[in-house]
């Protein structure tokens, strides 16, 4: 009897206990948040170019794949020293936090990668700041601006 009463109570109370899920992130919302938070914004299709401080960043999103990335070119790969590449790999584990250093098409990039739909406004703004800081700090602290996680270099 107690189980039947509990199940009946849950069936009646559950709709009132459910919290409304936040709206899923879309390309349009992503672009709007970046436009509100950055300067020199230009949008062309699924690509957005913008500045955070004096750092040029780009965003690319693919709604069908539910993926996005915010990135900034750092330097041509053939101009990087082995020490810089090692320091960037080390930083990926300790000091760039949610951003990362990556290599593509002969360039080193500071990049933030994430599924598009679950992103929040706070995560996007944080990603923009972290990528800009990682770009600015390449060759120095290799930091994305937050606290370092730790480790020995």
* Owning domain of residue 34: 20-137
The whole-angstrom separation of Cα 48 and Cα 67 is: 14
How far from 72 is each of 9, 119, 143, CA to CA, in Å? Answer: 54, 19, 14
Whether 107 contacts 132, CB under 8 Å: no
CATH at residue 33:
3.30.1460.10
The reported pLDDT for the residue numbered 91 is 94
Whether 84 is in a domain gets the answer yes
The reported pLDDT for the residue numbered 130 is 95
Whether 14 is in a domain gets the answer no
Whether 94 contacts 149, CB under 8 Å: yes
Whether 105 is in a domain gets the answer yes
Q: DSSP readout, 54-78?
A: TEEEEEEEETTTTEEEEEEEEEEGG
12 pLDDT above the threshold of 60: no
149 pLDDT above the threshold of 70: no
88-104 as b/e: b if 16+ CB within 10 A: bebbbeebbbebbbbee
Whether 8 is in a domain gets the answer no
End-to-end CA distance of the chain: 64
The whole-angstrom separation of Cα 124 and Cα 59 is: 10
The whole-angstrom separation of Cα 15 and Cα 38 is: 40
Partners of 21 in the beta sheet? none
pTM of the model: 0.81
Whether 12 is in a domain gets the answer no
- Write out pLDDT tens, residues 39-60: 999 999 999 999 999 999 999 9
Number of structural domains found in the chain? 1
pLDDT tier, 4 (very low <50, low <70, confident <90, very high otherwise): low
- Write out pLDDT tens, residues 19-41: 555 689 888 899 999 999 989 99
The whole-angstrom separation of Cα 36 and Cα 26 is: 15
The whole-angstrom separation of Cα 128 and Cα 130 is: 6
Whether 85 is in a domain gets the answer yes
């Amino acid at each position: 009897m107690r189980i039947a009463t509990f199940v009946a109570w849950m069936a009646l109370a559950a709709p009132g206990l459910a919290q409304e899920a936040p709206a899923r992130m879309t390309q349009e919302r992503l672009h709007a948040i970046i436009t509100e938070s950055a300067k020199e914004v230009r949008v062309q299709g699924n690509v957005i170019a913008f500045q955070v401080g004096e750092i040029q960043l780009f965003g690319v999103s693919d709604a069908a794949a539910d993926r996005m990335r915010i990135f900034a070119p750092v330097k041509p790969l053939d101009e990087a020293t082995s020490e810089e590449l090692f320091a960037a790999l080390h930083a990926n584990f300790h000091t760039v936090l949610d951003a990362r250093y990556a290599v593509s098409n002969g360039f080193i990039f500071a990049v933030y990668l994430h599924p598009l739909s679950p992103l929040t406004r706070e995560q996007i703004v944080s990603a923009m700041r972290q990528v800009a800081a990682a770009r600015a700090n390449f060759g120095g602290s290799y930091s994305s601006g937050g606290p370092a996680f730790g480790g020995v270099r």
